[in-house]
Structure 1
Amino acid sequence: QLFTMIEVVDTFLDFLVRYPVLPALFFVYCSACAVPIVILLIAVQKCALHRNCRYLITFWCISLLGELSNVVLLNAENLVNEKGYIPRGIIDPPLRPYFLIFHSTFYASGSCFEMLIAFERILSTREPHVYHVSGVYWALLVPLTISVYCLGTYIGYTIYIVGNHISGLMIYNAIDISTLVINTFGIRYCKARYESLYGKASLNARYQVSEAYDMACAMHPVYFVSFLLKVFGMIIAYTYILLMPYFNTEIYALMDAGYFLAHSFNCAFSSVFLMFLHKPIRKSVLTLLGSKRL
């Protein structure tokens, strides 16, 4: 039976080498995953959110779309690969490591924006009456945006060019865990702030704290399930890196496909879940789609 399974896997891999099944699959799959992100991106612009929060969610969506676009580019490169329609490793095809750097850019920046959204919700409750009427914090947000994209690019360079795979993956893990911890604290903090302000503060102040609490609560299950999906992808990444000498080049293609299928699904899932869980965004989506139900 073991030999039969090996033969089946080898036959399947040979089929993937000869025919552009994986590139076609990812083109369709990533296009479908991009639809809810685009809807969320448009809906957020029309939603009653503070402009700082809107800014961060907007760039979070841009990073998610960047991840999907990068997956498409990786598979487009496989279409012109002389060795077949599947990748043979991190550095095969030759341009693959450079495309993977951009995967890191968008993956890490997306995770950082999730963390910044959680932190911004906490910040918005410190002086809610002032924050509610304030504009976009351009002097802070623009440098932060540049920094997170640079961080993602640096992590990608560390993993795919320098070859420090474990160090880079551990930075990913630290960012994702920090997001969960900060948002968990944010939910409790925002709830405590709202209760302490009840009947004592202005309507604007209470509204700002309530908005912060609602967003933190809506994002928490998004972060949690997203974290589990990212863990699945990380297990594949760690497995390949630690056992790299024992895998043939064709097996890498299957692990690579599993990794990017998980991350692409996470992009779509995160946007759908936020649209469903956050009431103002859900209303904005319903208005955008001209529907009464979601």
Structure 2
Amino acid sequence: HIEKVVEGVCAGNLFFEMPTVHFFSEEAFCFGNNKVLKTREKKVVTLDIGAFRAKETIMQSEDDGKVYTCRELKSLAPHRCTFGYDVIVYVGYALFVHCRSEKDIVSELARKNISISDREVSFLGKKFVTYLAVAHRESRQKIRSAMDQRGGYILHVDGTCEGDSPHLFTGLDGIAEVVLDNIKIPSEQSELLIPFFEKIKGQYGDPIALVHDMGKGILSAIAAVFPGTPDFICHFHFLRDIGKDLMEDEYKKIRNRLKKHKIRGSLRRMAKSLERTAVQDRKVMVETSTEN
């Protein structure tokens, strides 16, 4: 019964009209003589409340003219933005972790009393990536300290691309499985990779080992930037290349038949569906183990 009550508690059930929430700067009431400079309103949408009208009272010191705004409101939503940080994170996880479509996300958020369009979901997804990149950049020193406490990091590097698109080349710590940096480059030539490796070296120091494929550009760039560092070939790439050499003819036959019967799209959709099911099953298992 409690779970049903909690599920039914949302802004749409609690308020007949969009509520107004007042925000003040606590700091302004604690220090000096202050006066009301102005008030401003904006619509804010969060997962906990849904849509509400945020009315902020901005104070100004009569002593030195310092302006006080509400930190709490800033922590809920970005400046001049409607959707809160929690909605942005929800959309980001749904798009990039759980592989949800924009329409699915619109439906999911509608059940949480949040009205949003497909276009806004796409825009919030881009915002999520931008904020994540900024947060990662600001956390580099903490990441390095954490890796140092574990005894260093193993640098795994690899690139991926589709068709004629640029290569997305990534370096991550193989121990913590944390992405350290990435870059878009037209190809994996050594002269393009050397600055990337030098940047990682400058930010995180020398790795205790490296793991990568057998690309000539990568081998040359690593020899130039990380001389003497233990260097290993990725087993996956090694076995894949051997399999390609040994079974190229058979692979071509399978690939051509898949193209002929036009079932690759169906297989991709099936794979995504199985992945979503696996994620949901994992969540259920975690929740069940937590309850027990």
Say whether the fold is shared (TM-score over 0.5). Answer: no
Q: Which has the larger radius of gyration?
A: 2
TM-score, length of structure 2 as denominator length? 0.22
Structure number with the bigger relative contact order (C-alpha 8 A, sep ≥ 6) is 1
